[in-house]
């Protein structure tokens, strides 16, 4: 019983810490030069990674917007940013070759979607 309580308290502490960190990151501004970035990244021993972005200035509210990785690469991460709205979701495409962002911004500010793309060594 005692170990269950300790585990529950630990889980709540971790959730509070991670939730605060993620919400603080979501409120920040996007990278200043996100279109080209390279280096080693990922648990899967990825090489030649780069960030691909696309800004949708007239993204309709609640409509998924997608950015695709270049040929012969896979998405290893991603995200989205809306300056004057609410980010509803951000997730990889089902084929693993792009990233999706969904936001509600009432037509102000649009939506920028980021995909971290890499040649993955398996």
Rounded to two decimals, what is the model's pTM? 0.61
Query: Quick count: other Cβ atoms within 10 Å of Cβ 64?
Result: 17
Rounded Cα distance, 15 and 87, in Å: 20
Q: Which residue has the higher pLDDT, 22 or 61?
A: 61
Mean model confidence pLDDT for the chain: 72
pLDDT tens string 52-67: 999 998 778 889 999 9
For residue 117, the cross-strand partners are 50, 75
The one-character DSSP state at 31 is P
Q: What percent of the chain has pLDDT over 70?
A: 61
Pairs from 54-58 (Cβ < 8 Å, separation ≥ 24): 54/112, 54/113, 55/110, 55/111, 55/112, 56/110, 56/111, 56/112, 56/113, 57/110, 58/107, 58/110
For residue 51, the cross-strand partners are 116
């Amino acid at each position: 019983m005692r170990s269950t309580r300790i585990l529950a308290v630990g889980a709540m502490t971790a959730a509070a810490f991670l939730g605060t960190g993620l919400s603080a990151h979501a409120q920040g501004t996007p990278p200043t030069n996100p279109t080209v970035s390279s280096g080693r990244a990922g648990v899967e021993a990825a090489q030649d990674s780069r960030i691909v972005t696309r800004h949708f200035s007239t993204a309709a509210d609640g409509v998924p917007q997608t950015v695709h990785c270049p040929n012969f690469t896979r998405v290893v991460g991603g995200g989205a940013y809306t300056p004057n709205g609410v980010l509803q979701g951000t997730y990889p495409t089902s084929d693993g070759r792009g990233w999706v962002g969904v936001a509600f911004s009432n037509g102000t500010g649009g939506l920028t979607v980021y995909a971290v793309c890499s040649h993955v060594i398996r």
